[in-house]
Amino acid sequence: MTKLTLRYIKGDFVVTGPDIEPTRFKTRREAQDWCMTHHPGSPIKEIGPIYKPPTRGRPTEGGDKSSA
């Protein structure tokens, strides 16, 4: 089983592994689909920033005025 690495480099997603040449894709989904098609069952390690929008936490005590 080949361990694949998915990186974001200069606007492209690049898939690398110990026995494959670097392959470039425009979207993360396209890169993941290629990995699942050509190397099914192999783990994919994603390296680089993945944007996750901030989540709102629970309001602190006294912060919610609608329940008063």
**Which pLDDT tens digit goes with each residue over 26-67?**
999 999 999 999 999 999 999 876 666 677 776 666 555 565
Dihedral angle, C-alpha 21, 6, 38, 30, nearest 10 °: -110
Dist. CA 40–CA 58, nearest whole Å: 40
Report the pLDDT value the prediction gives residue 55, as an integer from 0 to 100. Answer: 76
**Residue 15 pLDDT greater than 90, yes or no:** yes
pTM of the model: 0.66
Q: Is the pLDDT of residue 22 over 70?
A: yes
pLDDT-derived band of residue 10, with 50, 70 and 90 as boundaries? confident
Burial environment of residue 15 by CB neighbours within 10 A (0 to 12, 13 to 18, 19 or more): buried
Domain boundaries, the chain: 4-47
C-alpha 6/C-alpha 29 separation (Å) is: 11
